[in-house]
Amino acid sequence: GATPGERADPADPAPAPAPAPSPGRRAGPLALLAKLGPKLLGLLAKLGGAALKVVKTTNLAWAAASAAVYSLLFSWQFAALLLLQLVVHEYGHVHAMRRTGMRVRGMYFVPFLGALAVTEDAFTSRRQQAYVALNGPLWGALLCLLPAGLYLLTGRPFWAATAAWWAVINLFNLLPISPLDGGRAMAAFAFSFSSSLGVAVGLAGLAGAVALGTAMGFSVVWVVALVGAMELVAESRARAGGRALRLLPDPARFGPAHFHFLRALVGPPPGSPSDPRFAVDLVRAEQAARVEPLRRAELLGWGLLYAGLAAGLLLLVAWASQVGGAGHAAQLLT
């Protein structure tokens, strides 16, 4: 163009108009949002539904008490991260229980002891027992990948330390000691061969727990061993009651002799005012007699999953121990 006082040269080309924005460019983000929007809303709805199920299943009073205790002893950040791992881990059990038709009473948090998912039903098969037991560590291990990925993205040792501590929590649960998840899985494997092997493996796990608690001065292991011993006694009595039931006629034809025979095996002493409890024990004994064992292919598959989970978590702790400021969790394993 010409400046004031000058005449534009006709030979000069006229300035080109600015290109108009392409309709395709303007509509691109909107089209992408319109395409992905329903999927994102569906995902958020599913996550919200899952969160609502978790809240309904969890005993919020015990969860709040646990959060308060951990916040006072450590920090609110530690309490929040620990409870997040425990919730996801235990909800893995709850999900497996519901998938296999078991009624869930709820998730309960116990300060210093972690949390547990409680069902109102007994296992109907060793496959169900292994499936429920290993789903908790599986969900917990998958959650460990989140802070590990955040460390790779940000380089902050805090996230590597979080991944390591979460991995240690799940590794502890995989110890072959009842009532830990590893103990329940090992019971499913061993009782699939024979009751004698199941009891022997349970006793070995309890002996290992006593040795571990003594060597590390870890009092929580003693509590776990005590609960495991009670469960092993109950399992052994239920199996004995199941064998006794197979020797007797149809329950509808039970006489006083049959009743006293069963009472001596799986019930309290004769004359004690606890007939309702004895009836419950009889039902459990009958269920124990009908528990379906794992087949060889299932034993191999669940055994590989158990070993793979433990190996993967150990590798995660070893990897995090190389990160400055994140190696404290690995010291528990040395």
Give the chain's mean pLDDT: 76
Cβ 164 vs Cβ 330: under 8 Å: yes
pLDDT at 292: 86
Confidence band of 282 (pLDDT split at 50, 70, 90)? low
Cβ 93 vs Cβ 136: under 8 Å: yes
In the chain, the percentage of residues whose pLDDT exceeds 90 is 28
pLDDT at 213: 73
CA distance 266 to 163: 45
pLDDT at 112: 72
CA distance 241 to 186: 22
Confidence band of 271 (pLDDT split at 50, 70, 90)? low
Average pLDDT of span 168-193:
90
Highest mean pLDDT range out of 155-164, 257-266, 276-285?
A: 155-164
pLDDT at 19: 54
Please give the residue that has the higher pLDDT: either 319 or 284: 319
Please give the residue that has the higher pLDDT: either 143 or 222: 143
Secondary structure (3-state) at 107: strand
Cβ 333 vs Cβ 317: under 8 Å: yes
Average pLDDT of span 22-43:
55
**Reduced DSSP (H G I as helix, E B as strand, rest coil) percent helix, strand, coil of the chain, to 5:** 70, 5, 25
For residue 4, pLDDT over 80 is answered with no
Cβ 292 vs Cβ 120: under 8 Å: no
Q: In the beta sheet, which residues pair with residue 110?
A: 114
Confidence band of 297 (pLDDT split at 50, 70, 90)? very high
Confidence band of 20 (pLDDT split at 50, 70, 90)? low
Token readout for 290 is 């009908």
For residue 1, pLDDT over 70 is answered with no
Torsion, Cα 149 131 90 101, to 10 degrees, reads 130
Tens of pLDDT, residue by residue over 316-329, are 999 988 887 666 66
Cβ 293 vs Cβ 280: under 8 Å: no
Tens of pLDDT, residue by residue over 181-224, are 999 999 999 988 887 888 888 888 888 877 877 777 666 777 77
Residues near 320 by beta carbon (within 8 Å), at least 6 away in sequence: 148, 160, 161, 163, 164, 167, 326, 327, 329, 330
DSSP classification of residue 223: H
Average pLDDT of span 258-284:
61
pLDDT at 87: 92
DSSP symbols for 116-180: EEEESS--SBHHHHHHHHHHHHHHHHHHHHHHHHHHHHH--HHHHHHHHHHHHHHHHHTSS-TTS
pLDDT at 142: 96
